[in-house]
Amino acid sequence: MFRHTIAIQPADIDHMGHVNNSVYLKWVQDAVVDYWNSVAPADAVASHLWVALKHEISYLKPTFLQDAVVAEVIAEKVEGARAYFTTIVRRGQDVLSEVKSTWCCLDAASLRPVRLARDIVGRFLPPSA
């Protein structure tokens, strides 16, 4: 599991006094890309881009400006050019949201979908995936 610290900004807060639901999508994108950057070799990072295809978000508890929040990213599987993730947003032990997302890997030069090399997939996924 990869942990990505989230910095909540005043602009993230909506008219109800908590983080707007749309902000969670940015957090998930930042966390997944940060995960990729942490596990992939520099040449793979330079030659691949990631585009989100689908997010399924379960909002469980509100998040507030003063909260210390972390996103836990779990790479579930890779199939062809697609990768599947679960991202859990937490405040301490409290789960604030859970996001299932599907991403497409693109070749940075052509912007076309591309499969990851097996050695990259091996670094990308946990041993049990």
Q: What is the CA radius of gyration of the chain?
A: 15
State pLDDT tens for residues 85-123.
999 999 999 999 999 999 999 999 999 999 999 888 888
Which pLDDT band, with edges at 50, 70 and 90, does 126 fall under? Answer: low
Cβ contact 51:28 at 8 Å: no
Query: How much of the chain is in helix, strand and coil states, percent to nearest 5?
Result: 25, 45, 30
State pLDDT tens for residues 65-79.
999 999 999 999 999
pTM: 0.91
Question: Domains, the chain, ranges and CATH?
Answer: 2-124 (3.10.129.10)
Name the one residue in this structure whose structure tokens are 């990768």. 83
